[in-house]
Amino acid sequence: MEMCVFLSISVYLFESKTLHDLCASTVKFRFDLPIPEVIRQAVSDLYIPICISCLYSSFGCLIYQVIAKQAPYSGAPPGLIRETIIGRRKPDLEPLNHVERQLASSNDESIFQLLRSLMAKCWIDEPKGRPSSKEG
């Protein structure tokens, strides 16, 4: 389900080319798949130009869910999530640390490290610094 939401927002943004259209549209924003630029624009008068890299923050949240088996801001109310994202703070990494300890010295640890590294890159504050779909 989360991947479907991610892809539908991706297509919407790619076609409209503006975050303002997304904020003003009937597309419901999901706080478990946050796009920081959308939240920051929604609470300010700033115009934030769209780039496809803005979406990779949400992709990082999907990676978090796959690894930790819970949403990045699980249990937090939307207002707190919004303030956390506006303040450029990241989700609690303890659930990931717990998984890492469980995988220590297993064959899956290297895959975990690759996914965690990709997740961290997806959460870089500046969208231009985030990975692209062309990277392999």
Question: What tokens appear for 20 in the block?
Answer: 């303002």
Please give the single-letter amino acid code of residue 12.
Answer: Y
pLDDT, average across residues 70-88: 85
- 128 pLDDT more than 80: yes
Residue 5, amino acid: V
Q: Distance from CA of residue 31 to its chain's centroid?
A: 10
25 has a pLDDT exceeding 50: no
Secondary structure percentages of the chain, helix, strand, coil, to 5: 60, 0, 40
Cα–Cα distance, 119 to 70 (Å, whole number): 15
What are the residues whose beta carbons fall under 8 Å from the beta carbon of 21, sequence distance 6 or more? 12
Min mean pLDDT across 15-24, 32-41, 50-59 is at 15-24
Per-residue pLDDT, averaged over 56-66, amounts to 88
DSSP annotation of 28 reads P
| Among the listed residues 71, 115, 118, the one whose alpha carbon sits nearest the alpha carbon of residue 91 | 71
Query: Domain extents for the chain?
Result: 2-124
30-34, 121-125, 129-133: which is most confident: 121-125
Q: Is the pLDDT of residue 121 over 90?
A: yes
pLDDT of residue 114: 92
- pLDDT for 33: 64
CB contact at 8 A, 84 and 77 = no
Confidence bin at 94 (pLDDT 50/70/90): very high
Determine the pLDDT at residue 31: 52
